């Protein structure tokens, strides 16, 4: 019978979860006891609930996932956990973890991913705790975990427990007279089954294969060598009958083939070029752990995530899940353009603006007030789970296109003609020196909150409101402060600036620009927004503080 060993340890600084879990360089996680400390702290935060309960464990297949899955099994066994559901070979997409937590009513789950950050021994790793609703732990839980990491002195482990995570099935162990069960599950089955309940696969299949009324609709789906590969193959090839040539980069790799697995115009440029130069009606890409999505149409027509959210909000009636469940409110993160607000207003639905990070949507969904939400950072999802869901978004788009018979571009043009258009762009300045960026944000906050700023004119824009965004959750009244500087102008245009909470080193500055046009809807976002971008760069003195004269990524 394998025995429990108690190991003495010391706290590490900085194990504070950010926007989405604890994210650091792989080599930071490889330090002695670093990972063990954090896992023990997660379990300690759930101490009173561990016995008799189940936890889900899985990750995006990046470097270190397998080793950490093994550590979690051994540490959970020593801490009196009753059962773990582990994805085969440690593979589960983030949306699949959320789906499985909810389906099997588990205590929660541990997700091993640094999402869209690069992988491999010199890149990033991450650990995130999700609660019993399937969503990322709220601030009070992550704060509790963090507090435990600052005082930890011991962790418990069963070093000799050997679990075969490559074999689907139940393995039972005896640990100190208790039974500990690990059930290794098929990584894709539950998730794919759920997608088949949510969508009408028959209709999507007819769209892809063509019919008497319509030629085949040609798609190209790019998994960027992230975790969605097996899910994409099962859904698109086995279920929807698409040809092999409709999918690419579907083998999960520990280093994502050296690519940056973030589905945007810069890092998914291969997909964009192939669709632009090829005979494709639709392209989609997903990030490392499968929760982000990018949607493009014929000729690589780009759908901004803010618009994608608004179009889906206006089209949910085409999706069986919403036909059955009905549609409650909509929500977006604060920096996301307000296109969806117009749909909510027209439909008489509640609309919520929350801080950046998916964890802020969960309470609203649990309270039955929120059906569909999204973030400008390529996140779209619904209350079917409590994470954003890349594949879900692609299937939602295909369901809408199957029903309307329109192209992606026509869908957007018609939407803008009806609701007007929120032009949007985001500039990212990645891995800048931290101190000057912190100084820049302080100086900007001081400037925009000083007397006389509201009412002043910046170029042709008159300031109507300026603050550091704070949010009170309408369900539990918890408050999140300092969630980003925003300047709102009299015509509704906005400049938003915040520092990223997901980077593993240095500071990443994000600048978001949003401007509404009722009639002039067919322009280029970069041209239309140029005057406001210039105002923002000058106001924040961004080039001076960051030492950069151009952003790393423009969306």
Out of 46, 225, 293, 502, the only residue in the binding site for ligand G1P (CB under 6 A) is: 502
Tell me the DSSP string of 247-305.
Answer: EES-S--TTGGG-----STTTTHHHHHHHHHTT-SEEEEE-TTS-BEEEEEGGG-EE-H
Q: Nearer to ligand G1P by C-beta: 231 or 358?
A: 358
Site for ligand G1P contains 500 (CB under 6 A): yes
Site for Zn ion contains 387 (CB under 5 A): no
Site for Zn ion contains 356 (CB under 5 A): no
Distance CA 206, CA 348 (A): 33
Closest CA to 249 of 275, 277, 230, 272: 230
What lies within 8 Å, CB to CB, of 46 at 6+ separation is 107, 108
Tell me the DSSP string of 500-533.
Answer: -SS-SSSEEEEEEEEEEESS--SS-HHHHHHHHH
Residue 55 parent element (H or E): strand 54-59
Count of Cβ atoms closer than 10 Å to residue 276 Cβ: 15
What lies within 8 Å, CB to CB, of 482 at 6+ separation is 468, 469, 470
Out of 190, 341, 375, 514, the only residue in the binding site for ligand G1P (CB under 6 A) is: 375
Q: Nearer to ligand G1P by C-beta: 319 or 373?
A: 373
Q: Nearer to ligand G1P by C-beta: 20 or 206?
A: 20
Binding mask 290-329 for ligand G1P (x = CB under 6 A): ----------------------------------------
Count of Cβ atoms closer than 10 Å to residue 461 Cβ: 20
Residues 278-337 that bind Zn ion (CB under 5 A): 287, 289, 291-292
Distance CA 196, CA 120 (A): 34
What lies within 8 Å, CB to CB, of 127 at 6+ separation is 21, 22, 29, 35, 38, 39, 42, 68, 110, 111, 112
Site for ligand G1P contains 377 (CB under 6 A): yes
Closest CA to 329 of 345, 317, 318: 345
Q: Nearer to Zn ion by C-beta: 287 or 514?
A: 287
Closest CA to 419 of 308, 517, 512: 517
Select from Zn ion, ligand G1P, none the partner in contact with residue 289, using the beta carbon and a kind-dependent cut-off of 5 to 8 Å. Answer: Zn ion
Residues 90-149 that bind Zn ion (CB under 5 A): 115
Q: Nearer to ligand G1P by C-beta: 359 or 384?
A: 359
Among 41, 93, 98, 115, which one carries the catalytic annotation? 115
Residues 102-131 that bind ligand G1P (CB under 6 A): 115
- Buried/exposed code over 130-146 (b: 16+ C-beta within 10 A; e: otherwise): bbbbbbbbbbebbeebb
Active site residue 115: yes
Nearest approach in angstroms of CB 264 to Zn ion is 12
Site for ligand G1P contains 555 (CB under 6 A): no
Strand partners, 517: 421
Helix, strand, or coil (residue 496): strand
Out of 15, 20, 40, 304, the only residue in the binding site for ligand G1P (CB under 6 A) is: 20
Nearest approach in angstroms of CB 358 to ligand G1P is 5
Site for ligand G1P contains 19 (CB under 6 A): yes
Nearest approach in angstroms of CB 18 to ligand G1P is 7
Nearest approach in angstroms of CB 134 to Zn ion is 15
Select from Zn ion, ligand G1P, none the partner in contact with residue 254, using the beta carbon and a kind-dependent cut-off of 5 to 8 Å. Answer: none
Q: How many residues bind ligand G1P (CB under 6 A)?
A: 14
Q: How many residues bind Zn ion (CB under 5 A)?
A: 5
Nearest approach in angstroms of CB 379 to ligand G1P is 6
Q: Nearer to ligand G1P by C-beta: 115 or 304?
A: 115
Nearest approach in angstroms of CB 196 to ligand G1P is 26
Residues 344-363 that bind ligand G1P (CB under 6 A): 356-358
Q: Nearer to ligand G1P by C-beta: 281 or 428?
A: 428
Task: Write out 111-156 in H/E/C secondary structure.
Answer: EECCCCCCCCCCCEEEEEEECCCCCECCHHHHHHHHHHHCCCCEEE
Q: State both tokens at 531.
A: 């005057």
Closest CB to Zn ion belongs to which residue?
A: 115
Nearest approach in angstroms of CB 508 to ligand G1P is 6
Distance CA 328, CA 365 (A): 9
For tokens 């500039």, what's the residue? Answer: 427
Tell me the DSSP string of 173-201.
Answer: EEETTEEEEEEEE-SSHHHHHHHHHHS-H
Task: Say if CB 399 and CB 493 are below 8 A apart.
Answer: no
Distance CA 223, CA 235 (A): 13
What lies within 8 Å, CB to CB, of 45 at 6+ separation is 129, 141, 144, 145, 148
Select from ligand G1P, Zn ion, none the partner in contact with residue 377, using the beta carbon and a kind-dependent cut-off of 5 to 8 Å. Answer: ligand G1P
Out of 501, 517, 533, 539, the only residue in the binding site for ligand G1P (CB under 6 A) is: 501
Site for ligand G1P contains 425 (CB under 6 A): no
Select from ligand G1P, Zn ion, none the partner in contact with residue 19, using the beta carbon and a kind-dependent cut-off of 5 to 8 Å. Answer: ligand G1P
Q: Nearer to ligand G1P by C-beta: 130 or 377?
A: 377
Strand 351-354 with 83-91, pairing: unpaired
Nearest approach in angstroms of CB 294 to Zn ion is 12
Nearest approach in angstroms of CB 502 to ligand G1P is 3
Active site (catalytic) residues: 115
What does the binding site for ligand G1P look like in residue numbers (CB under 6 A)?
19-20, 115, 333, 356-358, 375, 377, 379, 500-502, 510
What does the binding site for Zn ion look like in residue numbers (CB under 5 A)?
115, 287, 289, 291-292
């Amino acid at each position: 019978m394998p025995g429990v060993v108690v190991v003495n340890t010391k706290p590490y600084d900085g194990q504070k979860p950010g926007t989405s879990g604890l994210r650091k360089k792989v080599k930071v996680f490889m330090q002695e006891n670093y990972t063990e400390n954090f896992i023990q702290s997660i379990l300690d935060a759930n101490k009173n609930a561990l016995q008799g309960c189940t936890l889900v464990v899985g990750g995006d297949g990046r470097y270190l996932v397998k080793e950490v899955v093994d550590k979690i099994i051994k540490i959970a066994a020593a801490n009196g956990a009753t059962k773990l559901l582990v994805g085969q070979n440690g593979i589960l997409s983030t949306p699949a973890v959320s789906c499985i937590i909810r389906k099997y009513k588990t205590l929660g789950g541990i997700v091993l991913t640094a999402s869209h950050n690069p992988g491999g021994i010199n890149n990033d790793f991450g650990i995130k705790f999700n609660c019993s609703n399937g969503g990322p732990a709220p601030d009070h839980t992550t704060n509790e975990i963090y507090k435990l990491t600052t005082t930890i002195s011991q962790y418990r482990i069963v070093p000799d427990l050997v679990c075969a995570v490559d074999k689907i099935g139940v393995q039972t162990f005896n640990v100190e007279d208790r039974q500990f069960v690990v059930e290794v599950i098929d990584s894709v089955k539950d998730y794919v089954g759920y997608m088949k309940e949510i969508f009408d696969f028959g209709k999507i299949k007819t769209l892809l294969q063509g019919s008497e009324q319509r030629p085949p609709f040609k798609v190209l789906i790019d998994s960027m060598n992230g975790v969605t590969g097996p899910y994409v193959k099962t859904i698109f090839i086995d279920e929807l009958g698409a040809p092999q040539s409709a999918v690419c980069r579907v083998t999960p790799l520990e280093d994502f083939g050296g690519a940056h697995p973030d589905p945007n115009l810069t890092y998914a440029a291969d997909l964009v070029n192939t669709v632009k130069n090829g005979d494709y009606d639709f392209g989609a890409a997903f990030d490392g752990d499968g929760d982000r999505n990018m949607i493009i149409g014929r000729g690589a027509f780009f759908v901004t995530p803010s618009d994608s959210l608004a179009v889906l909000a206006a089209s949910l009636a085409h999706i069986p899940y919403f036909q059955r469940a009905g549609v409650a409110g909509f929500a977006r993160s604060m920096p996301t353009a307000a296109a969806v607000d117009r749909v909510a207003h027209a439909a008489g639905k509640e609309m919520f603006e929350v801080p950046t990070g998916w964890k802020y949507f969960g309470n609203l969904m649990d309270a039955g007030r929120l059906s569909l939400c999204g973030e400008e950072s390529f996140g779209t999802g619904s209350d079917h789970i409590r994470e954003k869901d890349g594949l879900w978004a692609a299937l939602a788009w295909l369901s809408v296109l199957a029903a309307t018979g329109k192209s992606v571009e026509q869908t957007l043009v018609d939407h803008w003609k009806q609701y007007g258009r929120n032009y949007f762009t985001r500039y990212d300045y990645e891995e800048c020196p931290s101190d000057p960026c912190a100084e820049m944000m302080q100086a900007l906050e001081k400037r925009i909150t000083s007397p006389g700023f509201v009412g002043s004119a910046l170029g042709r824009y008159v300031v109507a409101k300026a603050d550091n965004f704070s949010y009170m959750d309408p369900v539990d009244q918890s408050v999140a402060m300092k969630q980003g500087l925003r300047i709102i102008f009299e015509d509704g245009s906005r400049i938003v600036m915040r520092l990223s909470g997901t980077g593993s080193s240095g500071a990443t500055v994000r600048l978001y620009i949003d401007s509404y046009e009722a009639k002039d809807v067919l322009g280029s976002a970069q041209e239309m927004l140029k005057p406001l971008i210039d105002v923002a760069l000058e106001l924040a003195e961004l080039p001076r503080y960051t030492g950069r004269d151009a952003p790393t990524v423009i969306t």
